[in-house]
């Protein structure tokens, strides 16, 4: 039986405590090979087929650092306004997990490749919060454990566990913020907005596919509370591997309400890792959180230090693309958007989707209308991010093109979009399968108009008498008869012609 967890009302939490956050984001790089060996860096595949003696930690196997991964790390550091180390090195982080075949993780400890940066984050109402970056360091990912049996999918209660080392050794960059203070009730929103802004930045750099659903971008959220009159930080918890923007916000909010209830009763917070439960938005205990001393860091003896020349760093700086914040300002000018319209795009995560739809042939207004209204509602109802919908910008542009050419009405276009989302194929295939093209044959429309007029002779008389507005009833009857596939404007024209008004 699951124990009942006491929570404090969120308004009371904010009145009594100040939240303090620290966010650690792990991003898998999209290099062709792993961090220290030549194995393919690809998501999925048959278990244990993308491994070698090095990433399996076999005795005598020696690592060789991936040069493209170092390049990616430097570009990330530059984009985050970090200083780039003139000299740094790897260390061994010692701990035992079954999915860590070497019993240590090759990481960076006190000498990261990038440090002292910042990222400006825009909240839903346009307020900008500067999140300071402590460090961005290189390391390798672990393998995966699959716990079979039991009710939770975790090791507790499982009958047995399976290990897949395909992910072991995949290049990781861990981006760690400095403590984030003074955000008050907006702390959960700040956490979500930061991870969202970071995801956009990494996507622009093209260093990762930033698929949170596949784990190539995941967030560890550290949360603690300080009483209003306190001078020292409270004990933190670390909610591990949160894998969606919405979940980051929910996890932070839940931990604030859970910790506040414990502190209000005179209890103490245990420094531990916690697991986020997607189903109900709660967190559950993991393991007692180790300190740096517990990991027994020491310099990696099998890898030479890294000393990127200043010339190389400056060459990489020149490769940085237009940053998302600058791109948004340019788009706002080019599309003539108000601040409110731009915020609407940002709040639903539609900027890139609208831009891609425009590039595929739609106008900015048309693309915005579809993504911000129709498709955003669809994503909300499915409780997923807008970009996770199974319709591409080019497909939406095709639908918009069919409306502009008169082959679809707006109502039919929405049905086509639903068909695409349901996996029925491209817009053209959905139109064909569902028979959704606008009836443009005047003979067929005239027959439907004559039938509707014959069924409502009193309305026909009103139209002949000059009350053209009465034609709406006939238009409605024709649209019903043609299952919405008639052009309402053309139907109205034919009605007026047929009655001789």
Q: How confident is the model at residue 497 (pLDDT cuts 50, 70, 90)?
A: low
**Sequence-separated (6 or more) residues with CB below 8 Å from residue 392:** 356
**Sequence-separated (6 or more) residues with CB below 8 Å from residue 139:** 35, 93, 105, 106, 107, 108, 172, 173, 174
pTM equals 0.79
Give alpha helix (H) positions in 318-392.
324-335, 339-347, 351-359, 364-369, 376-382
Whether the predicted pLDDT of 501 surpasses 60: no
Task: Please compute the mean of the pLDDT values over residues 321-345 and round it to a whole number.
Answer: 90
Q: Residue 80 is encoded by which pair of tokens?
A: 């985050």
pLDDT value of position 485: 67
pLDDT value of position 261: 96
pLDDT value of position 410: 81
Nearest to 477 by CA among 499, 445, 433, 500: 445
What stretch of H or E contains 15? helix 10-16
Q: Long-range contacts for 412-416 (Cβ within 8 Å, ≥24 apart)? A: 412/436, 412/437, 412/438, 412/484, 412/485, 414/374
Task: Please compute the mean of the pLDDT values over residues 138-167 and round it to a whole number.
Answer: 85
Distance CA 227, CA 264 (A): 10
Q: Long-range contacts for 272-279 (Cβ within 8 Å, ≥24 apart)? A: 272/237, 272/238, 273/237, 273/238, 273/239, 273/240, 274/237, 274/238, 274/239, 274/240, 275/154, 275/239, 275/240, 275/241, 276/239, 276/240, 276/241, 276/242, 276/247, 276/250, 276/251, 278/247
pLDDT value of position 165: 94
Task: Please compute the mean of the pLDDT values over residues 361-386 and round it to a whole number.
Answer: 91
3-state class of 40 per DSSP? strand
Q: Residue 238 is encoded by which pair of tokens?
A: 């670390």
Task: Please compute the mean of the pLDDT values over residues 456-463 and round it to a whole number.
Answer: 69
Q: Residue 126 is encoded by which pair of tokens?
A: 């346009």
Task: Please compute the mean of the pLDDT values over residues 145-156 and round it to a whole number.
Answer: 76
pLDDT value of position 291: 67
Say if strands 171-177 and 128-140 run parallel, antiparallel, or are unpaired. antiparallel
Whether the predicted pLDDT of 179 surpasses 50: yes
Task: Please compute the mean of the pLDDT values over residues 243-249 and round it to a whole number.
Answer: 93
Contact between 138 and 131 under an 8 Å Cβ cutoff? The reply is no
What confidence tens digit (pLDDT) does each residue in 36-52 have?
999 999 998 899 999 99
Task: Please compute the mean of the pLDDT values over residues 225-235 and round it to a whole number.
Answer: 92
pLDDT value of position 161: 86
CATH architecture of 442-500: Orthogonal Bundle (1.10)
Whether the predicted pLDDT of 475 surpasses 70: no
pLDDT value of position 1: 39
Mean pLDDT of the chain: 88
Task: Please compute the mean of the pLDDT values over residues 145-165 and round it to a whole number.
Answer: 81
Q: How confident is the model at residue 318 (pLDDT cuts 50, 70, 90)?
A: very high
Q: How confident is the model at residue 363 (pLDDT cuts 50, 70, 90)?
A: very high
pLDDT value of position 4: 72
- The CA distances from residue 281 to 19, 186, 255, 258, in Å, are 19, 18, 10, 12
Domain ranges of the chain: 10-312, 322-422, 442-500
What confidence tens digit (pLDDT) does each residue in 57-116 have?
999 999 999 999 999 999 999 999 999 999 999 999 998 878 888 889 999 999 999 999
Contact between 224 and 237 under an 8 Å Cβ cutoff? The reply is yes
Say if strands 272-277 and 17-28 run parallel, antiparallel, or are unpaired. unpaired
Whether the predicted pLDDT of 238 surpasses 70: yes
Task: Please compute the mean of the pLDDT values over residues 194-201 and round it to a whole number.
Answer: 94
Listed ranges 1-10, 174-183, 441-450; the one with the highest mean pLDDT: 174-183
What confidence tens digit (pLDDT) does each residue in 291-317 have?
667 889 999 999 999 999 999 999 999
Task: Please compute the mean of the pLDDT values over residues 246-250 and round it to a whole number.
Answer: 95
Listed ranges 347-361, 461-475, 484-498; the one with the highest mean pLDDT: 347-361
Distance CA 34, CA 139 (A): 11
Q: How confident is the model at residue 158 (pLDDT cuts 50, 70, 90)?
A: confident
Task: Please compute the mean of the pLDDT values over residues 198-213 and round it to a whole number.
Answer: 93
pLDDT value of position 166: 94
Nearest to 221 by CA among 181, 182, 249, 262: 249
Task: Please compute the mean of the pLDDT values over residues 164-187 and round it to a whole number.
Answer: 96
pLDDT value of position 205: 96
What confidence tens digit (pLDDT) does each residue in 397-443 have?
999 998 888 777 788 889 889 999 999 999 988 887 877 665 555 55
pLDDT value of position 3: 61
Whether the predicted pLDDT of 392 surpasses 90: yes
Query: Which position has the higher pLDDT, 175 or 475?
Result: 175
Distance CA 99, CA 102 (A): 9
Task: Please compute the mean of the pLDDT values over residues 440-454 and round it to a whole number.
Answer: 64
Q: Residue 45 is encoded by which pair of tokens?
A: 């595949």
Other beta carbons less than 10 A from residue 485's beta carbon: 19
């Amino acid at each position: 039986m699951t124990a009942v967890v006491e929570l404090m009302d969120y308004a009371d939490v904010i009145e009594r405590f100040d939240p303090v956050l620290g966010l650690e984001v792990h991003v898998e790089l999209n290099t062709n090979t792993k961090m220290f060996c030549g194995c393919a860096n690809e998501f999925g595949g048959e278990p244990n087929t993308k491994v070698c003696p090095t990433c399996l930690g076999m005795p005598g196997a020696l690592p060789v650092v991936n040069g493209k991964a170092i390049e990616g790390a430097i570009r990330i550091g530059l984009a985050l306004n970090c200083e780039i180390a003139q000299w740094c090195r790897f260390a061994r982080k010692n701990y035992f997990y079954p999915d860590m075949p070497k019993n240590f993780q090759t990481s960076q400890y006190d000498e990261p490749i990038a440090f002292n940066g910042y990222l400006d984050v825009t909240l839903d109402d346009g307020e900008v919060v500067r999140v300071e970056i402590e460090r961005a360091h290189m390391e390798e990912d672990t393998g995966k454990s699959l716990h079979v049996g039991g009710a939770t999918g975790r090791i507790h209660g499982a009958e047995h566990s399976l290990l897949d080392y395909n992910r072991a050794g995949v290049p990781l960059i861990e981006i760690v913020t400095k403590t984030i203070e003074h955000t008050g009730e907006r702390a959960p929103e700040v956490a979500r907005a930061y991870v969202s802004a970071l995801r956009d930045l990494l996507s622009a750099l093209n260093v990762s596919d930033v698929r949170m659903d596949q784990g190539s971008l995941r967030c560890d959220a550290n949360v603690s509370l300080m009483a209003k009159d306190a001078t020292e930080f409270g004990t933190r918890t670390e909610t591990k591997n949160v894998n969606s923007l919405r979940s980051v916000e929910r996890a932070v909010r839940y931990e604030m309400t859970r910790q506040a209830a414990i502190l209000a009763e005179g209890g103490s917070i245990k420094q531990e890792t916690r697991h986020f439960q997607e189903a109900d938005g709660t967190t559950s205990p993991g393991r007692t959180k180790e300190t740096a001393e517990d990991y027994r860091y020491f310099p990696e003896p099998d890898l030479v230090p890294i000393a990127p020349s200043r010339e190389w760093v400056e060459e990489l700086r020149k490769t940085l693309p237009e940053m998302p914040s600058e791109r948004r300002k340019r788009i706002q000018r080019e599309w003539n958007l108000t601040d409110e319209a731009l915020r609407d795009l940002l709040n639903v995560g539609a900027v890139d989707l609208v831009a891609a739809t425009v590039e595929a042939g739609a106008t900015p207004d048309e693309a915005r209308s579809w993504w911000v209204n129709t498709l955003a509602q669809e994503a909300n109802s499915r409780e997923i991010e807008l970009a996770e919908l199974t319709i591409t910008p080019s497909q939406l542009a095709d639908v918009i093109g069919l409306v502009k050419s008169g082959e679809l009405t707006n109502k039919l276009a929405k049905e086509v979009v639903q068909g695409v989302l349901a996996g029925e194929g491209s817009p053209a295939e959905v139109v064909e399968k569902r028979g959704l093209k606008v009836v443009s044959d005047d003979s067929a429309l005239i027959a439907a108009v004559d039938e509707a007029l014959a069924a409502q002779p009193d309305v026909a008389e009103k139209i002949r008498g000059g009350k053209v507005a009465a034609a709406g009833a006939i238009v409605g009857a024709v649209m019903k008869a043609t299952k919405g596939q008639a052009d309402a404007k053309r139907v109205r024209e034919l009605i007026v012609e047929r009655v001789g008004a």
